Amino acid sequence: MDSLTFMQDRNNQMQDPILTDEVYSADEIEHVWISSIQLSDFRNYSSLSLRLRDAHVVLSGANGSGKTNLLEAISFLSPGRGLRRVSYPDIARENGPGSWAMASELHGDYGETKLGAGLQPGPNGDLQRRIRVNGANIKSSERLGDHVSILWLTPMMDSLFTGPASERRKWLDRMVLAIDKSHGSRVNAFEKAMRQRNRLLDEAPHETVWLEGIEAQMAEFGVAIATARSELVSLLIQSISHLHSAETAFPMAQVGLNGNLEEKAFLMPAIECEETYREQLVQMRGRDRAAGRTLEGPHRSDLAVNHVGKEMPAAKCSTGEQKALLLGIVLAHAHLVAKRNQKSPIVLLDEVAAHLDETRRLALFDILDRLGCQAWVTGTDDPVFAPLGERAQRFIVDNGQLTPVLSEEGDR
């Protein structure tokens, strides 16, 4: 069974009533938006304090001015290493003290929440990672997902369909994480166990008791990962369908999963699937030892995407078509996240909207408005965003400094 047929069959069996409502209805969904942000020694920002109203945010300026850096700061309000996937020390301002901090206030229908992250001196003077919720330190960034979901599309993702499968898996796992905050821990636990097994097969292949324990962990976490991924893709199929039924500004994508474990998880109960995968790992010890890696598991899965209108794989589409497909999937995911979490996500679009014609650009913001999402959008040319009027607050970014763009009425 091919991946797209498999996912369509799965989708037909698990229609989610949450997603069958009016696609753009924001009723009963908490509207969340960033009302302020402060930065200290973050990238090229020595200091920034920004107060915002309930509207989209447009950042315009030359390349290297700091637009993406500000989006990156916001991305640290979600679990993980941000949109550039870097370690905390790499973010500190050049020639700065080595520490950095970002703080924000989120405004929601039920009040305000203060979230922050940074690298700050500890009791012994060493720099330590800090994540805070309402002024209190928390141990895991997973807790951030209780308060807000941050979604993004950046130029780094332009080659997603033509690049290695590992990049598509990371994107898929981040989409899962937005509706299942424990998914990241499961992925990390599986990868840790897999590394232990690979090392043990190489150094002590006769330690069967130890191997059995590790393989049992891999089976448990692996099946949970495969199940979560396939459920996300099935929900995404529904969301894409609903989105496309109301909007035609962006091409419709058909998504599926290429993965033996995902298909097994669909066809059999979880316990049976775990046992089947565990037995497979035992049988493949010799092959895996010879290969120096584990040859079967969720780390080998891939996300398949087709352009429905052209009936061709996304990888064979033009660059412009691939970008439009990506944007459509991100919007469908935003709809899914809002419905599942009952809370609107923040959407970061880096150098995306500026490449659209005016009709598609306005259609993009129409969709975001009806989903109840605050979007942060970057571009090099501010005038192209002028038609947004009061729907957006616009800033010119220059060397880590922000200057507001006055509206024609001069009210800002």
Confirm whether residue 64 is marked as ligand binding.
Answer: yes
Angle at alpha carbon of residue 400, lines to 399 and 405, rounded to 5°: 90
Confirm whether residue 264 is marked as ligand binding.
Answer: no
Evaluate whether 309 touches 214 at the Cβ level (below 8 Å): no
d(CA 267, CA 5): 14
Please, what sign has the CA dihedral across residues 379, 384, 388, 390? Answer: positive
Confirm whether residue 68 is marked as ligand binding.
Answer: yes
d(CA 281, CA 218): 9
Angle at alpha carbon of residue 406, lines to 401 and 408, rounded to 5°: 160
d(CA 16, CA 139): 33
Closest CA to 4 of 314, 256, 325, 266: 256
Confirm whether residue 163 is marked as ligand binding.
Answer: no
- Residue 57 DSSP SS3: strand
Please, what sign has the CA dihedral across residues 3, 9, 14, 20? Answer: positive
Residue type, 346: I
d(CA 113, CA 374): 16
Strand order in the sheet with 401-404: 150-153, 346-349, 374-379, 56-60, 392-398, 401-404
CB within 8 Å of 149: residues ≥ 6 apart: 78, 178, 337, 341, 343, 345, 346
Confirm whether residue 98 is marked as ligand binding.
Answer: no
Evaluate whether 180 touches 336 at the Cβ level (below 8 Å): no
Please, what sign has the CA dihedral across residues 59, 63, 69, 71? Answer: positive
Confirm whether residue 62 is marked as ligand binding.
Answer: yes
Confirm whether residue 372 is marked as ligand binding.
Answer: no
Confirm whether residue 108 is marked as ligand binding.
Answer: no
Residue ranges of the annotated binding site for ATP are: 61-68
Residue ranges of the annotated binding site are: 61-68
